[in-house]
Structure 1
């Protein structure tokens, strides 16, 4: 496709203006109705801009996030619409979104999350094996220097990095057992220390 020069663009705009003037002048379009439709489209456009600008606020209201109740010693994680519980933890200083999986033995990081947490997935020894719903996968055992959830900071946490593709990192029992109590009440997973 050719590049449109400034001259061509100016010509096209002038042609469009002339066609609009002719159409309005010939009485084919009611000026009041045209202005009304123009105002409606302008409001729709401004509304779309407002929604985009406030998207984070809207999303946090519609989809509740985890709540840390430090004075009560607990963390509440709401159930997502897909039925899972998701928690954001700081792993070696990087925020990582986990699906809480009480059926997983370890914390299992995807390769992308491992990289964000300062690990080098390409140079890890994948000599471990794990059985998943999709069959056997190779894993590399690692130790995470620091894992933080709310005000709770744990060091030297056992974890694994999955060699295969993973859409989501798993928060397994090697971390969850650090809490005194794991409770599901209503639509919340409650972790208590």
Structure 2
């Protein structure tokens, strides 16, 4: 299984000015924008870390899932949430010939933890031998920064500030994810029941 991020979070969607205020950086100077690229990088790193811990995409963007076989013929679980739309499902044979499935052949079962691509009938179409299936979809909790839940926005700010503060730290310890961040994101993490299976 391979997950490809087709689009990235656009720069205007990142709260650089809010982050500057959070860091209490000086304003009104002619060189105030010099650090914008660096701050942008810390925000992107914090978003990526929180998305990795929670399995949730914060700012909406497009992905492609590539599989050589379905995890379950009755429905393929998508690896991130929330998925707002499945835009394309295609089968690719061993020679690279692609066949796009009609939208009527599948449906999205929306779920905040485990969205699933379901067949219109009993099973998903067979993946060609030596080939793959490609599922294009859009995922994200919000279209822009203002639409994010407040606790996740605060977690990104805290973690980005932590990265900024310890940007020269190369050892583990102080550079790890702070407790305040982990407590803010805890309710968004996948629920695990039984023998470690995600439910």
Q: Could you tell me the TM-score, scaled by structure 2's length? A: 0.20
Larger Rg: 1
Q: Could you tell me the TM-score, scaled by structure 1's length? A: 0.20
